[in-house]
Amino acid sequence: MIGPDVAGIAEKLGAAADTATAIPQLAAETGLDVDAAYAVQAALLQRRLDRGERLVGLKMGLTSKAKMAQVGVDEVIWGRLTDVMRVPDGGTVDVADFIHPRVEPEVAFLLDRLPEPGEPVGSFTRAVRAVAPAIELIDSRYANFTFSLPDVVADNTSAAAFVVGPWSPVPEGLDNLGVLLEIDGRVAQAGSTAAILGDPRRALDEGIRLAGRHGVRLRKGWVFLAGAATAAVPLRPGAHVRAVVEKLGSASLRAA
Ligand code: 0L1
Ligand code: MG
């Protein structure tokens, strides 16, 4: 049996991102399942590497009930981050570069020594050198921000840009820190790191396990976005966005 056209689907999704143009969902029409969708994601990454981008990390998606409910997909997923997606803390993004961007407050980990394949994950403090508040900018390439599970996996889990705030040593507890998403100084979303799989440290175990299934090993020096603590909020031109995480400080961006 001939499978879905992985390269062709990756080309359509890559072109949609490059031109900030929404496209219809692809999975139902092409028979794309989740495994093939991760192959599309790998092809999309290769497309970026071929034009000089560098793989700098991994992100977890749909790690909270609020996010799952927002998009109607209830499985934890993961995607790839490249250097070009990283926006400096306090930097500016142009809304016109995206289709219908949304922002969400996250916790980032700076990875250190990761277990070898087959080795137990071991201590979180050995695997993570530092933690930081972060903002993820997601931008589904599908019309109306609507998709099935294989569609969103193929679309690199809507990854578009991210900001990492100042790194801090790993604090005593990470499992119940207050999180705010502020837009223009007003609280748009409030939550807790407990919303991220009960404890954001679990997101790392899940990332190692789920990415490992597709032959991807997390690397020392990578940024790991553990997932959002609240639902995402549309990003409007002119907005000043700040994600604040108790004990960790804040990360911010401005939208032009
Ligand atoms: O980072 C995320 O949780 C996003 C995963 C994909 C679903 C979405 O676009 O909201
Ligand atoms: Mg996210």
What is residue 195's predicted lDDT score, i.e. its pLDDT?
95
Ligand minimally distant from the alpha carbon of residue 105: 2
Percentage above 90 pLDDT, the chain: 87
| Ligand 1 atom 8: residue of nearest CA | 158
What is residue 244's predicted lDDT score, i.e. its pLDDT?
98
Give the tens place of pLDDT for each residue, 15-30.
999 999 999 999 999 9
Ligand 1 pocket, CB under 6 A: 59, 61-62, 67, 71, 136, 138, 140, 152, 157-158, 227-228, 232
SS3 label, residue 162 = strand
Average pLDDT over residues 36-64: 97
Predicted ipTM of the assembly: 0.95
The secondary structure of 190-232 as a DSSP string is EEEGGGTTTSHHHHHHHHHHHHHTTT----TT-EEEEEESS--
CA of 2 to the centre of ligand 2 (A): 33
Radius of gyration from C-alpha coordinates of the chain: 17
**What atom of ligand 1 comes closest to residue 145's alpha carbon?**
9
Average pLDDT over residues 42-63: 97
In this model, does residue 121 exceed pLDDT 70?
A: no
The secondary structure of 237-251 as a DSSP string is TT-EEEEEETTTEEE
Q: How crowded is residue 125: how many other Cβ atoms within 10 Å of its Cβ?
A: 11
Give the tens place of pLDDT for each residue, 127-166.
999 999 999 999 999 999 999 999 999 999 999 999 999 9
What is residue 120's predicted lDDT score, i.e. its pLDDT?
66
All structural domains of the chain, each given as residue ranges with its CATH number in brackets, are 6-255 (3.90.850.10)
What is residue 92's predicted lDDT score, i.e. its pLDDT?
98
Least Cα distance to 189 among 159, 225, 233 occurs for 233
CA of 105 to the centre of ligand 2 (A): 8
Q: Which residues surround ligand 2, an ion (CB under 5 A)?
A: 136, 228
| Ligand 1 atom 1: residue of nearest CA | 61
**pTM score of the predicted model:** 0.96
Least Cα distance to 78 among 57, 98, 92, 97 occurs for 57
Please state, rounded to an integer, the average pLDDT across all residues of the chain. 95
